[in-house]
Amino acid sequence: MASISRPCETLSAFIVEAKGAGSSKDHTRRYGLEFSKNQVFDHVAKAILKALRVVAGGETRAAIAFPDNKNHREEVEKVRAPLMALGIEIFWVSSDGTARAEGRRARSAGAGNGS
């Protein structure tokens, strides 16, 4: 779980709540395994709540970043329209580390919707 703040061309800050694909804690039973559907639900919910708090603050833009996999896409798709309406960007990170944006900035830049 990571929060990243980056400068943006049009705003003073861009806050991204990023989640990984699996456990990175070597002392846990699930170390090295992908998260279960229940864990993905929990991570997506927490990331959205954190993004909503950023939006509510009104001083900067919010984004969420997830691994580009089936479980994360299924959860986000259920609430994609309201996220877009609130201006919350979604970044899909592939296994090679490249990220694809989905949201207002992506549409205005012609990057598509990430699907």
CA distances 51 to 16, 28, 39, 111, Å, are: 8, 28, 18, 22
What does the alpha-carbon distance between residue 90 and residue 93 come to, in Å, rounded to a whole number? Answer: 10
Q: Give Cβ neighbours of residue 16 (< 8 Å, ≥ 6 apart).
A: 3, 4, 5, 6, 62, 63, 64, 65, 89, 91
pLDDT tens for each residue of 49-94: 999 999 998 878 888 888 898 998 999 999 999 999 998 989 898 8
Is this model's pTM higher than 0.75 or not? no
pLDDT tens for each residue of 94-111: 888 887 877 665 544 444
Class of domain 2-109: alpha beta
